[in-house]
Amino acid sequence: MKISRNIGAAMAQRLTDYSRAVKREANRELRVGAENILELAKANAPDSTGALRASGRVVARQTASGSTIYSVEFGGEKAPYALYVHEGTLPRSKMPPFQNIVQWVEINLGLTGKEARRVAFAIARSIKQGQPPNKFLERAFRNQVPKIYAAYKRGVRNAATSGR
């Protein structure tokens, strides 16, 4: 009489279950980390109109291998100037298009007439002088990465010990 047990199939299933649990936990921790970066970046973003903060979002993209990559993004149609705020600008040799700035002031700040032109001129002069960078997103990222890494490790450890 012979007794046997196919250990390979059971082990393969257990490893597959473990792999799924680790991927699920890791993905959850990365998503939460991206959301934390977004909230901190929004809190630190300079924004007189609210448009820059409102433009922030977390974007999830699937790779060909099935992994999810999370990005924190600012800008787009809501705040096309986000990159210039974050990275700063060099001084310019001439003033930026004044009428475009007047229009922006009227739409976004609700000013009209001489008041709109006065504010637009101050903005144009400031743009001409160049702006130092305000790395609101980079600071949030650097602040949160150690926390994300620790949460990621905890999530993987929990998946490994929970027997899922």
Confidence band, pLDDT 50/70/90 cuts, at residue 1: low
Residue % of the chain over a pLDDT of 90: 53
Q: List the structure tokens of 24.
A: 């699920």
Q: Mean pLDDT score of the chain, rounded to an integer?
A: 88
Residue 20: what pLDDT? 81
The span from the CA of 26 to the CA of 77, in Å, is 32
Rounded to two decimals, the pTM is 0.75
For the ranges 4-8, 61-65, 75-79, 94-98, the lowest mean pLDDT is seen at 4-8
Residue where the block lists tokens 């800008």? 75
Q: 């959301």: which residue's tokens?
A: 35
| Lowest mean pLDDT across 15-29, 94-108, 115-129 | 15-29
In angstroms, the CA 34 to CA 148 distance is: 9
Report residue 155's pLDDT band, with 50, 70 and 90 as the boundaries.
confident
CA-wise closest residue to 88 among 128, 45, 132: 132
